[in-house]
Structure 1
């Protein structure tokens, strides 16, 4: 698109199905790199991908020609396919349906990058559910608690 200029950044968050804590340290860094590369393959620019055993945060730049849903669909489906084709897990891996997406300005990138980088430390003090609800509230996103990421019952 000639003469189209943008500065669009978002943090996407998605969870393992039923929030199972199955992203092990033994393959976590490789999985996060795969997700970052998959986001880049869509034509977006990955800034950081990090997470803990049950969910992932991705900060990336996107452009008006992209749909966030299409970027996340690609990253989630292809990364789960990649993980299922490895021998890292003995059972089928799936991401939970849906994701959270939060927009940021250029001036907020260093703060959000630090936040994502420090996920392990952050989650020693705060649950994923609490973190996610706080992000929804901070971004004035209405939600119904019954439609948040499911926990294993």
Structure 2
């Protein structure tokens, strides 16, 4: 679209189904590269990606030609298929149905990049559940703990 300009920086946080610690060090870098390819094939820009065995963060320079939900559907579906085809998990891999997405201004991007790059150090002090709840509270997102942090039955 001519004369359409935007600058949108989105921080996504998502986890394997039931927040299981399934992402192993021996294939996590390959996963990050694969997801970067998915994002960039949809004409967005991957700025940073990193995570832990039980969740993933990515900062994306988001182009407004696609909806946030459609991008996440593409990322989760395609990366799940890649994990399953390569048999990285003993059982079928799935991402949890929800995700968090938070927006940042350009001036905040360097801090978000640093935060994402230091996930391993950060999580020596804080669990994923504590981190995610802190994001929801910081961004004043109303949530019900019974559903956000529900464990499998």
So what's the TM-score if we normalise by structure 1? 0.96
Partner of residue 50, structure 1 = 50
Kindly indicate whether the alpha-carbon contact (under 8 Å) linking 1:19 and 1:150 is maintained by their aligned counterparts in 2: no
3-state SS, counterpart of residue 151 of structure 1: coil
Q: Deviations over 1:106-126 (max 9, x none)?
A: 000100000000001111100
Distance (whole Å) between structure 1 residues aligned to residue 42 and residue 118 of structure 2: 26
Q: Deviations over 1:52-108 (max 9, x none)?
A: 000000100112222111111100110000000003222110100110000001000
Query: How does 1:65-84 map onto structure 2 within 5 Å?
Result: 65-84=65-84
Query: How does 1:1-153 map onto structure 2 within 5 Å?
Result: 1-152=1-152
Kindly indicate whether the alpha-carbon contact (under 8 Å) linking 1:6 and 1:63 is maintained by their aligned counterparts in 2: yes
Cα shift at 1:149: 4.5
Kindly indicate whether the alpha-carbon contact (under 8 Å) linking 1:19 and 1:152 is maintained by their aligned counterparts in 2: no
Cα shift at 1:31: 0.6
Kindly indicate whether the alpha-carbon contact (under 8 Å) linking 1:19 and 1:149 is maintained by their aligned counterparts in 2: no
Q: Which runs of 4+ in 1 moved over 4 A?
A: none
Distance (whole Å) between structure 1 residues aligned to residue 126 and residue 61 of structure 2: 27
Distance (whole Å) between structure 1 residues aligned to residue 20 and residue 67 of structure 2: 28
Distance (whole Å) between structure 1 residues aligned to residue 119 and residue 42 of structure 2: 25
- Unaligned residue ranges in structure 1 (runs of 5+): none
Q: 1:33 to 1:149 in 2, by over 3 A?
A: farther
3-state SS, counterpart of residue 6 of structure 2: coil
Distance (whole Å) between structure 2 residues aligned to residue 106 and residue 49 of structure 1: 17
Distance (whole Å) between structure 2 residues aligned to residue 32 and residue 50 of structure 1: 7
Q: 1:33 to 1:151 in 2, by over 3 A?
A: farther
CA RMSD of aligned residues (A): 1.1
**Matched positions, count:** 153
Kindly indicate whether the alpha-carbon contact (under 8 Å) linking 1:16 and 1:55 is maintained by their aligned counterparts in 2: yes
Distance (whole Å) between structure 2 residues aligned to residue 69 and residue 91 of structure 1: 26
